[in-house]
């Protein structure tokens, strides 16, 4: 009954979105251009709200429903939507044009800033997306070492390019889609995070492994933090075997502090991929790291490594917004501390509530990154593979729909906090989750 009423309420308050969804599914594969943006709502006979505006922590849909937003555009908008300083800079630039396809001053300033902020970043190449950055980073590593294979973490998400789209989702059986090579043909080896067996794996494949790529927090995989000891172990073992260590900091970069997360962890890779936050809300990807590895891409040297070539690489608006956001973040130490603390408390409080009420939900994350997992059974341990294995997509969709009815939107199980969120909003989020999850659970598992 509760769920039926929730669905009716949602449909009644989203009539324009419903019409647009019907049109979308006529012309776009599955109605979307990014698979998770349907919020799994079609699974329960619903559809996503079409969002038209974002201001600070709020977004508004085409039916004029306003929401507290915890998605933050794939975790990219750390200061909230429509930051006025960035908006002003972009408007200024628009009067001078918005795409040139030439070298430009701002990319130099942006590269200098990334180098200044981050000890391991000695040299930079920009591209347009995180997917490209990860693809090029492994290419650079293969070229540098002369070796062919790449190890990646199970559940690690580096974009859906052919090269690294393996063992991303449970049941972790290798390639994630028809249309790409099998993992053995593609030379991808998967490793478990926080597991000492990695020593044996790297030892066994040392002669063929060009790189290990890992996110310090498995964001897309479900918010699972990688232990600093494990990252240290990776650093030692990769160094021992002449394997390039790549940290994918596309989510974690500038998320927890005003530089890459590796600076807090005090573990430094050879290469780092960056994106999301550093574009200030515009498309960006970057590869940064050791001079000798990145400089292989210099087009004037013999036998250079060809990376890049994107029409929109070093896109002017991305560089301008990027420079501005990095400036803002430099002065945001207190804001980081505030949202880190609020996020940590939210994760702990929700988990305590779920345990006390014996609800099959769990919140996983790190500081301001938060993933609410809707599960089909109670789990004793917070083991990544088990959590993802027992993830219940219908339940997630019902939970999401009930949150939308109470003016909260997120994706992928909540998402991330931004500087624009107030303690009051986060309190409301917690209260709402604590009110809804027992009701959703009761009907789903009846
Ligand atoms: C860790 C990580 N790497 C790479 C990517 C791909 O970045 P993009 O979506 O900009 O291509 C993502 C995107 O979610 C990501 O989270």
- The answer to whether position 77 is within a domain reads no
pTM: 0.97
**Residue to mutate (ligand 1; options 135, 158, 224; most atoms within 8 A of CB):** 158
Cβ-Cβ contacts under 8 Å for 93 (sequence gap 6 or more):
316, 317, 320
Over residues 333-343, mean pLDDT: 98
| Residue 444 scores a pLDDT above 90 | no
Asked whether 72 lines ligand 1 (CB < 6 A), one says no
- The answer to whether position 395 is within a domain reads yes
Say if CB 330 and CB 258 are below 8 A apart.
yes
Asked whether 268 lines ligand 1 (CB < 6 A), one says no
314 and 357 belong to one structural domain: no
The CA distance from 270 to 144, in Å, is 11
379 and 255 belong to one structural domain: no
Ligand 1 atom with minimal separation from the 249 CA: 1
287 CA to centre of ligand 1 in angstroms: 13
Partners of residue 364 on adjacent β-strands = 371
pLDDT band at 172 (very low <50, low <70, confident <90, very high): confident
| Residue 412 scores a pLDDT above 90 | no
**Residue to mutate (ligand 1; options 214, 275, 277, 416; most atoms within 8 A of CB):** 275
Q: What is the pLDDT of residue 213?
A: 98
| Residue 52 scores a pLDDT above 80 | yes
Say if CB 137 and CB 126 are below 8 A apart.
no
301 and 353 belong to one structural domain: no
297 and 387 belong to one structural domain: no
> What's the Cα-to-Cα distance from 304 to each of 30, 144, 147, 295, 298, rounded to whole Å?
41, 10, 16, 9, 6
390 and 271 belong to one structural domain: no
* H or E stretch covering 150: strand 149-153
| Residue 54 scores a pLDDT above 90 | yes
Look at the chain and report how many structural domains it folds into.
2
- The answer to whether position 133 is within a domain reads yes
| Residue 389 scores a pLDDT above 70 | yes
315 CA to centre of ligand 1 in angstroms: 18
The CA distance from 352 to 335, in Å, is 26
Say if CB 57 and CB 404 are below 8 A apart.
no
Count of alpha carbons within 13 angstroms of residue 9, beta-carbon side:
15
Partners of residue 53 on adjacent β-strands = 60
Q: What is the pLDDT of residue 78?
A: 98
Asked whether 220 lines ligand 1 (CB < 6 A), one says yes
113 and 238 belong to one structural domain: yes
Say which CATH number the domain at 116 has: 3.40.640.10
**Residue to mutate (ligand 1; options 128, 134, 315, 412; most atoms within 8 A of CB):** 134
Q: What is the pLDDT of residue 173?
A: 81
Partners of residue 369 on adjacent β-strands = 366, 416
253-309 tens-digit pLDDT: 999 999 999 999 999 999 999 999 999 999 999 999 999 999 999 999 999 999 998
154 and 117 belong to one structural domain: yes
Nearest CA to ligand 1 atom 7: 130
Asked whether 80 lines ligand 1 (CB < 6 A), one says no
237 and 153 belong to one structural domain: yes
322 and 357 belong to one structural domain: no
Q: What is the pLDDT of residue 168?
A: 93
Nearest CA to ligand 1 atom 8: 130
- The answer to whether position 245 is within a domain reads yes
The pairs formed by 301-306 with CB atoms below 8 angstroms and a separation of 24 or more are 305/139, 305/140, 305/143
- The answer to whether position 248 is within a domain reads yes
Asked whether 130 lines ligand 1 (CB < 6 A), one says yes
277 and 315 belong to one structural domain: yes
pLDDT band at 446 (very low <50, low <70, confident <90, very high): low
DSSP assignment of 233-256, as one string? Answer: HHHHHHHHTT-EEEEE-TTTTTTS
pLDDT band at 380 (very low <50, low <70, confident <90, very high): confident
**Residue to mutate (ligand 1; options 220, 272, 284, 411; most atoms within 8 A of CB):** 220
pLDDT band at 382 (very low <50, low <70, confident <90, very high): confident
> 103, exposed or middle or buried, with CB in 10 Å at 0-12, 13-18, 19+?
exposed
- The answer to whether position 304 is within a domain reads yes
19 CA to centre of ligand 1 in angstroms: 31
Say if CB 282 and CB 321 are below 8 A apart.
yes
| Residue 413 scores a pLDDT above 90 | no
| Residue 394 scores a pLDDT above 70 | yes
Mean pLDDT of the chain: 96
- The answer to whether position 438 is within a domain reads no
Cβ-Cβ contacts under 8 Å for 169 (sequence gap 6 or more):
155, 176, 388
- The answer to whether position 240 is within a domain reads yes
| Residue 218 scores a pLDDT above 70 | yes
431 CA to centre of ligand 1 in angstroms: 31
116 CA to centre of ligand 1 in angstroms: 23
Asked whether 252 lines ligand 1 (CB < 6 A), one says no
245 and 387 belong to one structural domain: no
Over residues 154-180, mean pLDDT: 92
80-101 tens-digit pLDDT: 999 999 999 999 999 999 999 9
Over residues 171-183, mean pLDDT: 90
Which residues constitute the domain of residue 213? 84-330
Say if CB 280 and CB 106 are below 8 A apart.
no
**Residue to mutate (ligand 1; options 33, 35, 247, 251; most atoms within 8 A of CB):** 251
149 and 280 belong to one structural domain: yes
Asked whether 74 lines ligand 1 (CB < 6 A), one says yes
* Nearest Cα to Cα of residue 40 among 400, 433, 444: 400
327 CA to centre of ligand 1 in angstroms: 23
Asked whether 139 lines ligand 1 (CB < 6 A), one says no
308 CA to centre of ligand 1 in angstroms: 17
Ligand 1 atom with minimal separation from the 131 CA: 11
């Amino acid at each position: 009954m509760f769920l039926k009423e929730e669905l009716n309420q949602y449909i009644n308050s989203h009539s324009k979105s419903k019409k647009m969804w019907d049109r979308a599914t006529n012309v776009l594969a599955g109605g979307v251009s990014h698979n998770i943006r349907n919020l799994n709502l079609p699974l329960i006979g619903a559809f996503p709200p079409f969002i038209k505006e974002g201001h600070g922590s709020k977004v508004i849909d085409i039916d004029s429903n306003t929401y507290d937003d915890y998605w933050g555009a794939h975790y990219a908008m750390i200061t909230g939507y429509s930051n006025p300083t960035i908006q002003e800079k972009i408007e200024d630039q628009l009067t001078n044009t918005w795409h040139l396809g030439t070298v430009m001053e701002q990319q130099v300033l942006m590269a200098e800033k990334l180098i200044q902020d981050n000890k391991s970043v000695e040299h930079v190449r920009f591209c347009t997306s995180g997917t490209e950055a990860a693809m090029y980073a492994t290419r650079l590593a293969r070229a540098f070492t002369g070796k062919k294979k790449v190890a990646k973490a199970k559940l690690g998400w580096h974009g859906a390019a052919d090269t690294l789209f393996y063992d991303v989702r449970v049941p972790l059986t290798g390639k994630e889609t028809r249309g790409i090579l099998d993992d053995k043909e593609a030379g991808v080896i998967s490793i478990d995070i926080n597991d000492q067996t990695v020593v044996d794996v790297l030892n066994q494949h040392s002669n063929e492994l060009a790189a290990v790529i890992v996110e310090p927090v498995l964001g897309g995989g479900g918010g699972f933090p990688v232990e600093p000891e494990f990252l240290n172990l990776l650093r030692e073992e990769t160094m021992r075997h002449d394997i390039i260590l790549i940290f994918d900091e596309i989510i974690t970069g500038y998320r927890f502090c005003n530089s890459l997360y590796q600076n807090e962890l005090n573990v430094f890779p050879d290469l780092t991929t960056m994106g999301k936050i550093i574009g200030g809300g515009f498309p960006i990807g970057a590869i940064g790291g050791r001079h000798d590895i990145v400089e292989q891409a210099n087009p004037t040297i013999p036998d250079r490594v060809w990376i890049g070539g994107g029409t929109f690489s070093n896109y002017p608006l991305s560089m301008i917004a990027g420079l501005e956001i990095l400036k803002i973040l430099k002065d945001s130490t207190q804001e980081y501390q505030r949202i880190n603390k609020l996020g940590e408390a939210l994760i702990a409080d929700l988990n305590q509530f779920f345990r006390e009420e014996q609800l099959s939900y769990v919140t996983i994350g790190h500081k301001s990154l938060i993933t609410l997992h809707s599960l089909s059974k109670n789990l004793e341990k917070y083991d990544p593979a088990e959590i993802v294995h027992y993830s219940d997509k219908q339940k997630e969709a019902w939970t999401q729909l009930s949150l939308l009815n109470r003016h909260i939107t997120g994706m992928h199980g909540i998402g991330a906090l931004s500087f624009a969120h107030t303690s009051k909003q986060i309190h409301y989020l917690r209260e709402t989750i604590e009110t809804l999850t027992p009701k959703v659970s009761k009907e789903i598992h009846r």
